Amino acid sequence: MILVTGATGLVGSHLLIELIKNGSFVRALYRSQKTRKGVEELFSYYKVEGFEKIEWLKGDLMDYFLLMDALKDVSVIYHCAAMVSFKPSDRKAMFNVNVEGTANLVNAAIESKTECFCHVSSIATLGKSLNGELIDESSFWQNDDNHSVYSQSKFQSEMEVWRGTKEGLKAVVLNPSVIIGPCADDKSSGQLIHSLSKNMTFYTGGGTGFVDVRNVVDAMIAVAQSGKVNERFIVNGENLSYQTLMQTAAKVFDVKAPTVKANRILTGIAWRLERLKYMLWGQAPKMTKETARTSQNQSKYSADKLHGEMKINMFSIEEALENVKSYKGR
């Protein structure tokens, strides 16, 4: 039996599809019936049968006794559950889910003697490029004030997994770059895709790594089945500037490509205005201090370790965006 947490999210839902296609017995942890419906729609989109074979378990990571029940007869855990937000008001909730929730699952997995714990982390835990060099698995987190609350929570959640390995947990950690794939506009990279599918005027000077969700899932399954223990793998498709990403998206969605570069001064004004709207009217900010800073940073990531040890046929980011477009237009 395989347990998938965060089963209704972007990564978790695509993972369910591949596991069911492979004939695996799957138990899926979810929180609401509404999000479960989205997974069923995704199965239909990919024309995959077997949704009814999933054993669904309603609950969350804060319920330790539920987790112990969820791990009965489970040999492999795919931990995909995470909260993604850049809203200041979500700080406490994000640390609860990402850090305390992961600690609970790690402890339950140790107690249950689970054979493999596959943790979906993030490139956000690996720091930033210095002098333009590629970031790889040997790169370290730089402890400064320039990290978003989200990246801090993911770093600490990953530390819970590494703590678990010192207590007998057999774990592998995957650090995907920005994941592109079909999902709701308010989930994961859904907000980014929603923006990319509209006419755009401005682009920023930064860039980062991007990867198709299908490749993330392929990598998770390959690494979990490889017998690797206590190792990390970066999962990255392409390193792109934000301008190139926006130009590619404009081509795919047939919208206007951005032509005006927004410098640090302009993005600085933008996040302050968004902060003011949040303080006055409670509107969720479209840009925060952290995202404004990130939009001007250029970081590049190497997935050479993954490709040297696993066979993953990578999709281009244009293909990833085409997949999203097809899903939206179904």
pLDDT one-digit tens code per residue, 105-117: 999 999 999 999 9
DSSP string, 278-293: HHHH-PPPSS-HHHHH
Neighbours of 74 (CB within 10 A): 19
Which residue ranges in the chain fall short of pLDDT 70? 87-88, 129-132, 144-146, 188
pLDDT at 327: 92
Structure tokens at 170: 């057999």
Residue 112 lies in a domain: yes
* Nearest in space to 211 (alpha carbons), one of 184, 249, 178, 233: 178
Alpha-carbon torsion 133, 134, 139, 145, what sign?
positive
Per-residue DSSP letter, 44: H
Number of structural domains in the chain:
1
Residue 83: inside a domain: yes
- CB-based burial label for 205 (10 Å; 0-12, 13-18, 19+): middle
Domain range enclosing 124: 2-181+209-239+299-316
Residue found by looking up tokens 């990953």 in the block: 158
* Count of other CB atoms within 10 angstroms of residue 129: 18
Model-level pTM greater than 0.85? Answer: yes
Does 202 map to a domain?
Answer: no
* 192 in any annotated domain: no
CATH code of the domain in which 149 resides: 3.40.50.720
**Token pair of 194 as six digits:** 């929603």
Pick the closest to residue 212 from 79, 83, 321, 103 (CA basis): 321
pLDDT of residue 245: 95
* Per-residue pLDDT at 258: 92
Question: What local confidence, expressed as pLDDT, does residue 265 receive?
Answer: 85
